[in-house]
Chains A and B, each alone.
Chain A
Amino acid sequence: MNVSTASILVLLVLLFPLAGAALNGLLGPVFGRRFVNIAGTVSIFASFLVACLVLATVVGAPSGHGAITVRLWDWINLGGGTNLSVGMDFTLDALSALMLMVITGVGFLIHVYSVGYMEHDTGFARFFSYMNFFIFSMLTLVLAADLVILIIGWALVALSSYLLIGFWHDRPTAVAAARKAFITQVIGDVALVIAAFLIVLNTHTLSLPNIFARTQAFPAGGALVTGVCVLLAIGAFAKSAQFPLHTWLPDAMEGPTPVSALIHAATMVTAGVYLIARFHVLFNLAPVAEGMVACVGMGTAVMAGIIALSQIDIKRVIAYSTMSQIGLMIYAVGIGAYSAGMFHFAMHAVFKALLFMAAGNVIHALHDEQDIRLMGGLHARMRWTHLAFAAGSFALGGFFLFSGWFSKEDLLGFGTLSGPGPAPWILYAVGVGVNVLTGLYAFRLYFTVFQGEPQTARGFGVKEAGYPMLIPVVILGALSVIVAWPLQFPLPNTLHVFSDFLSPVFAGSQSPLLHDPSFGLALVALVIGSAASLLGIGLAMRLWYEHRPDPQVVLASLPRVIPLLSYNKFYFDEIYDRALVQPVRAVARTARRVVEPDVMDSWVQGIGELLRGFSLDLRLVQTGLIRDYASIFTVFAVVLVVVWVFIAR
């Protein structure tokens, strides 16, 4: 791949969604729905085709030449001793090619789905404009080879997420959710920007390849690199909804369902995983930060899994399952198993987008009902959606030979030996527990929604969704069964197409935490992990299908604290509300009552009035009379010359 080919590919893959966004936003309202549907989906499909070309060139490149960084143009290059240079730099390598494929591929299917989903919404042009713009932002983020561009992409995805969560801006809950998401993201943005400052301060460059080449600026294990990585990780946590910055994700379900599928399941929320994988060179130098990342990931996985068990809103259950699965990916990149983390990302994007879209079909069919207690028995009336949802649930639950099984077991297998002392074993054990939890919540949802009897009269009258909403679901359903088969088998020395593909990206440096398990150990881990998943699924079947014992009975037998914590999401919203929101509001109220009128207003108004006064005085000088103007001119000229030449100097 030469530079000019790569530049053209980068330009095209970015320009199609951007053009789609501009066309839909500017001309969509004029040309109407048919135009928007076509422009919105075709732009992403074109981008997807280019992404396929990128993948082909990366795969086809001779070994060692699969990565290329192109500078489309210098954005800022000041030379002249300042050394400030920001280039429109983009990287094409295995990692970005993978991200491109997922973003544009899954993104395209979700756009097709949106055609059906937004059929009766009057804001369709705005919707497709935002969606196209999101794809553009996300592609910018994953292609960026310059810190500034990366941060721009990072901020733009937050912006598009904000716009899309608050898409129905006449709903107060949606607006509040959008605001919450954005504010949480900004916390991460700040951390990321501080990390960027530290990096620039020590490497004197903004270009990512140069940063990774100048690691001598970061002593291994030192406080500096640990600080940088912790800050990067905080940025990643905010974007990927990890503890303690996770509370925005469930609320984000206020957005239209395709948005949840695209942004809050398949792509944006996994940007944190991508960020850590992209900065793996730095993370490999900071084992402490890596350990922190792994623990936070696994902790979030458990917490979200427990919460998912008791939620009653279909989209929120899936949202918590997303949080839990991203926790596993974060855990994987934390222990240095980057390929495994990215593999789970790719598989998860497929089956989680599917689950969201199938849930959207259910919600649509039940006329915007989201409470799973009022669903049930949909399998007979929504045959295809049911099949696809079942496939997605098996994949999510990690059932043998479904895509989720390959990626989850792969990732857990690496966990057995990664790290000092008993820590990896504890994390591994927790991971096995997460497998059980996943099976439980995935199939609680499936059985409650699709099996049993309809719980409301509406449930008897449901109809299968239309083709635009069905075909993407079925395609993804088929994919979530077979997509992993040719890619990866979760045992060493077997089929490893996927990790071989990514290995050039991560070959340069190796995490000190990562130790490949032997074949035997991996096999044992695989059997235990698969058994745990099966156990979870089986338990779910007993509880929510056969009702032996009835879940209510089990619930009553548990200590009251567990269901309370789970149902109330560990009270995080309440804690944050009491500890952060309320105090800040109290301070703000006080400020408004006391500080504002007495101090700020008098100051600000004072300055304002002062300037206004000056301004009005200046108007007085502007008499409009030529003699006055000439006098002013002369006086100033003479005074200036006389004072400066003969007195002041």
Chain B
Amino acid sequence: MLIAASPVPLTFPGGRDLIGILPELVLGGAFLLLMLLDLVIPASRRSWLAGFALLGIAATFGVTIWAWFDANPGRLVYSGSFAYDRFALFVDAILLVSAGLVVMISPNYLNRRGIHYGEYYALILAATLGMMLLAGATSLMVIFLAIELLSLALYVLSGFSRHEERSQEAALKYLLLGGFASGFLLFGMALIYGETGHTQLAQIAAAIQGQTTLTVDPLLLAGVLLLFIGFAFKISAAPFHSWTPDVYQGAPTSVTTFMSVTTKVAAFAALVRVFTYTFDGGGTHFYQHWEPVVALVAITSMVVGNIAALTQTSVKRMLAYSGIAQAGYILIGVAVGPVLLPSGQTSSFGTIGVLYYLAAYAVTNIGAFAVITIMAGRGEDLDSYDGLRGLAHRRPFVAASMALFLFSLGGFPPTAGFFGKFLVFTAAINAGQVPLALWGIATSAVSAFYYLRVGLLMYQRPAEGAEEYRWSRTGFSGSAVLVATTAGTLILGVMIVLVYTAATASLKGLIV
């Protein structure tokens, strides 16, 4: 039997294609250059590599900003398998800022842990590259490749503390379970391909529009759900989250900082593009078939994440469960999807909420993890709650910013976290999914307990005779990161319009 000819003939990439992946090209170039530099730079000068990595990220960020203005309107490149649009660029910007902040806090931490190897920065760039590709991917193939690229880099990074059993264990767990989840993802893709005959999102969307609401193809739906499960693993949504606490705790803290934020950001970007905008099904309202499942996973995540966080005694595990819960909140925005208003217009409020939440989560969570990265003592991680006891009396500024991050994670105004939650809850209520918002509000109340508990610990006086944790010096780069994340957390809470406008614009430019 003959395989049907591709409707788009294969061509050599032209200039327009290359411009479409210009940010990715620059970052990829930086990645290769960094690998070479590692060979010539002596071991005592490894911090220079951080500088070069930062330069590469800054250059990519600059190109991304330029592309933001160029990609209006955006277009599909490489025969429709990659989107050069503002949506991807908005997500790229979040990813690059996050990567930059992580690179800034890394050298001191890695030196103190004795694991300062040159490939660290190359791996960070490789993972970021994978994430940027994921944010723009419009073909199931590119999505899969991007996920594998970012995952492979993260597997290695998780086990970066080579001499530490816990880190090795984390890497192995992540690798095995990640491979397992990739199986589900691929199986889902295979089913979708089998049922629609296409791998490109635009054509899949067209094929789904051909369905009728009454007789939806069960295999197609099974494929969609399996694909979602694959993504749910990446965003660590319950009940597909089991790996998260162990890996977050075992991996070096700077790596945890990086992957806790960026993986979620990239995977959510893909979720929005694939589910909210490809599987919506246009007039057939196909989304009604998968939305309840997403809502269910969102609720499970919020409940499991928040409740499990209550009894943790390790900061990293607590933040891991907090991340699971946050994934649940962001999923609300995905579950709400595009809402058909009575006026006939489509409101994409939920998606704006997702984007805002991601930006807010990125600055806040990086800030919180940065504090325990920067403060960690020589040769160890700052992990137990006791390590933060009395921090406020020794490092008032660090403790104050940590308190701010905790408030933001808990969703207190006027911080970034409040408006993230506010937007997704509002979207849920607008869409008539009030129970979803109520679950969110109730679990937020629970979350205040464990966030504020850590906050209180920092402001407690250490017990008489008790030994204080030996916190490290903040250092210049550490201070800069804390100042930046503090400012970001406040600005996203006080000047909502800045990011809100950008998110709205990026959504308008979204193409499938």
CA distance A628 to B242 in the complex (A): 9
> 9 shortest A-B CB distances, which residue pairs?
A629-B242, A74-B497, A615-B311, A618-B308, A636-B239, A615-B310, A641-B225, A637-B229, A645-B222
Residues on B lying within 8 angstroms of A by beta carbon are 172-173, 176-177, 180-181, 184, 218, 221-222, 225-226, 229, 233, 239-240, 242-243, 245-246, 289, 292-293, 296, 304, 307-311, 341, 343, 345, 347, 349, 352, 397, 419, 423, 426, 430, 446, 494-497, 500, 504
A82 lies within 8 A of B311 (CB): no
Give Cα A76–Cα B221 distance, bound, in whole angstroms.
39
- Do A641 and B173 touch across chains, with their CB atoms under 8 A apart? no
Q: Is the CB of A644 within 8 A of B225?
A: yes
Are B221 and A645 interface neighbours, CB within 8 A? yes
Residues in A neighbouring B177, C-beta threshold 8 A: 626, 629-630, 633
CA distance A626 to B174 in the complex (A): 9
B222 touches A81 (CB 8 A): no
Chain A residues, CB < 8 A from B180: 630, 633
> Which chain A residues border B352 with CB–CB below 8 Å?
80
Contacts of A628 in B (CB 8 A): 242
Are A640 and B293 in touch, CB under 8 angstroms?
yes
Find chain A residues with CB under 8 A from B345 CB.
81
Whether the pair A80, B229 counts as a contact (CB closer than 8 A) is: no
Residue of A nearest to B250 (CB): A624
- Tell me whether A637 and B310 are in contact in the complex, defined as CB-CB below 8 angstroms, given that A75-B497, A82-B426 are known contacts: no
The answer, yes or no, to whether A649 is at the interface (CB within 8 Å) is yes
- Supply 15 further A-B pairs (C-beta < 8 A) apart from A78-B426, A616-B311, A618-B308: A80-B352, A81-B345, A81-B430, A82-B426, A611-B446, A615-B311, A618-B304, A622-B242, A622-B246, A632-B239, A633-B242, A637-B184, A637-B226, A644-B292, A645-B218
Closest chain B CB from A622 CB (angstroms): 6
Cβ of B116 to closest chain A Cβ, rounded Å: 28
Complex contacts, A621 vs chain B, CB 8 Å: 242
Bound form: Cα–Cα A75–B494 in Å: 6
- Whether the pair B307, A644 counts as a contact (CB closer than 8 A) is no
Q: Contact between B500 and A618 (Cβ–Cβ < 8 Å)?
A: no
The residue on A at minimum CB distance from B396 is: A26
Q: Which residue, A78, A619, A624, A637, has most C-beta atoms of chain B within 10 A?
A: A637
Contacts A81-B347, A636-B239, A640-B225 hold; do A649 and B289 have CB atoms under 8 A apart?
yes
Does A77 lie at the interface of the complex (its beta carbon under 8 Å from any beta carbon of B)? yes
Shortest Cβ distance from B343 into chain A, in angstroms? 7
Shortest B277–chain A CB gap in Å is 17
Please, how many angstroms separate the alpha-carbon atoms of A615 and B309 in the complex? Answer: 7
Q: For A82, A611, A628, A641, which residue has the most chain B Cβ atoms within 10 angstroms?
A: A641
| In the complex, chain A residues whose CB is within 8 Å of the CB of B293 | 640, 644
Task: Knowing A615-B311, A632-B242 are in contact, say whether A82-B496 is a contact too (CB < 8 A).
Answer: no
Report chain A residues within 8 Å CB of B504: 79
Q: Which of B173, B239, B243, B497 has a CB less than 8 Å from the CB of A73?
A: B497
Distance in angstroms between the alpha carbons of A80 and B226 in the assembled complex: 33
Are B308 and A615 closer than 8 Å at their CB atoms? yes
A630 contacts which chain B residues (CB < 8 A)?
Answer: 176-177, 180
Bound complex: CA of A637 vs CA of B183, how far in Å?
12
* B225 in contact with A612 (CB, 8 Å): no
Query: Chain A contacts of B341 at CB under 8 A?
Result: 81
Which A residues are CB-close (under 8 A) to B218? 645-646
**With the chains together, A640 CA to B423 CA distance in Å?**
28
B496 interface neighbour in A75, A616, A632, Cβ under 8 Å: A75
Q: How far is the CA of A63 from the CA of B2 in the complex (A)?
A: 84
Report the Cα distance A645→B289, complex, angstroms.
9
Contact of A81 with B343 in the complex, beta carbons under 8 Å: yes
In whole angstroms, how far apart are the Cα atoms of A645 and B500 in the complex?
Answer: 37
Distance, CA A644 to CA B243, complexed state (A) = 25
Is A31 an interface residue, CB under 8 A from the partner? no
Q: Chain A contacts of B173 at CB under 8 A?
A: 626, 629
Interface residues of A in 501-559 (CB under 8 A from B): none
28 contacts between A and B (CB under 8 A): A76-B497, A79-B504, A80-B349, A81-B341, A81-B347, A611-B310, A612-B311, A614-B307, A615-B307, A615-B311, A618-B308, A619-B308, A619-B311, A622-B308, A626-B173, A629-B243, A630-B180, A632-B242, A633-B177, A633-B239, A633-B240, A636-B239, A637-B184, A637-B226, A640-B293, A641-B225, A641-B226, A646-B218
CA distance A18 to B446 in the complex (A): 34
CB neighbours (8 Å) of A614 from chain B are: 307
Say yes or no: B246 contacts A624, CB within 8 Å: yes
Contact B347 A641, beta carbon cutoff 8 Å? no
Contacts of A632 in B (CB 8 A): 239, 242
> C-beta contact mask, A595-629 vs B, less than 8 Å → 1, else 0?
00000000000000001101110110110101011
The answer to whether B310 touches A612, judged by C-beta atoms less than 8 angstroms apart, is yes
A73 to B499, CA, bound (A): 13
* Max chain B C-beta neighbours (<10 A), residue from A629, A632, A644, A645: A645
Q: Quick one: closest A residue to B341, CB to CB?
A: A81
C-alpha spacing A649/B221, complex, angstroms: 11
Closest Cβ of chain B to A611, distance in Å, is 6
Contacts of A624 in B (CB 8 A): 246
In the bound complex, how far is the Cα of B504 from the Cα of A649, in angstroms? 34
Q: Indicate which residue in A26, A611, A629 contacts B307 across the interface (CB closer than 8 Å).
A: A611
When chains A and B are docked, how far (Å) is the Cα of A26 from the Cα of B226?
A: 53
How long is the Cα–Cα vector from A628 to B504 in the complex, in angstroms?
Answer: 42
A649 to B217, CA, bound (A): 12
Chain A residue nearest to B180 in the complex (CB):
A630
Nearest-CB residue, chain A, relative to B239: A636
Complex interface: chain A residues within 8 A of B349 (CB): 78, 80
Closest chain-B Cβ to A413's Cβ sits at a distance in Å of 47
The residue on B at minimum CB distance from A152 is B414
Q: Which residue of A lies closest to B292 (CB)?
A: A644
B500 partner residues in chain A, CB cutoff 8 A? 77
- Which A residue's beta carbon lies closest to that of B494? A75
Measured between alpha carbons, how far is A267 from B352 in the docked complex, in Å?
43
Q: Tell me the minimal C-beta distance from A265 to chain B in angstroms.
A: 31
In the bound complex, do residue B496 and residue A641 qualify as a contact, i.e. CB atoms below 8 Å apart?
no
B385 to chain A, nearest CB (A): 15
Asked if A73 meets B311 with Cβ closer than 8 Å, knowing A78-B426, A618-B304, A637-B184, the reply is no
- Nearest-neighbour CB distance to chain B for A522, whole angstroms, equals 50
Bound form: Cα–Cα A74–B307 in Å: 36
Most buried by A among B181, B221, B242, B308: B242
In the bound complex, do residue B497 and residue A80 qualify as a contact, i.e. CB atoms below 8 Å apart? no
CB–CB A633/B181 < 8 A: yes
Q: Which residues of B contact A626 (CB under 8 A)?
A: 172-173, 176-177
- By a CB distance below 8 angstroms, the chain A residues around B423 are 78
A622 to B349, CA, bound (A): 36
Chain B residues with CB below 8 A from A649, complex form = 289
Q: How distant is the Cα of A73 from the Cα of B504 in the complex, in angstroms?
A: 17
Known A624-B246, A633-B180; contact A77-B497, beta-carbon cutoff 8 A: yes
CB distance from B447 to the nearest CB of A (A): 11
The residue in chain B whose Cβ has the minimal distance to the Cβ of A629 is B242
Given A77-B500, A81-B347, check contact A641 B233 (CB 8 Å). Answer: no
A86 to chain B, nearest CB (A): 9
Using Cβ atoms and an 8 Å threshold, which residues of chain A touch B226?
Answer: 637, 641
| Residues from chain A with Cβ under 8 Å of B426 in the complex | 78, 82
Q: A81-B343, A630-B180 given as contacts; is B495 within 8 A of A73 (CB)?
A: yes
Measured CB to CB, the nearest residue on chain B to A639 is B239
The complex places the Cα of A133 from the Cα of B289 at a distance, in Å, of 54
How far is B242's CA from A438's CA once the two chains are assembled, in angstroms?
A: 76
A206 → chain B closest CB, angstroms:
15
Contacts of B430 in A (CB 8 A): 80-82
Q: Mark A55-85, 1 if CB is under 8 A from B, else 0.
A: 0000000000000000001111111111000
Residue numbers in B under 8 Å from A612 (CB-CB): 310-311
Nearest A residue to B349 via CB reads A80
| Complex CA distance for A490 and B148, rounded to whole angstroms | 84
Q: Are A80 and B347 also in contact (CB < 8 A) when A619-B311, A633-B180 are?
A: yes
- Chain A proximity of B305: nearest CB distance (Å): 10
Q: What residues on A are CB-neighbors of B494 within 8 Å?
A: 75
Q: Which residue of B lies closest to A636 (CB)?
A: B239
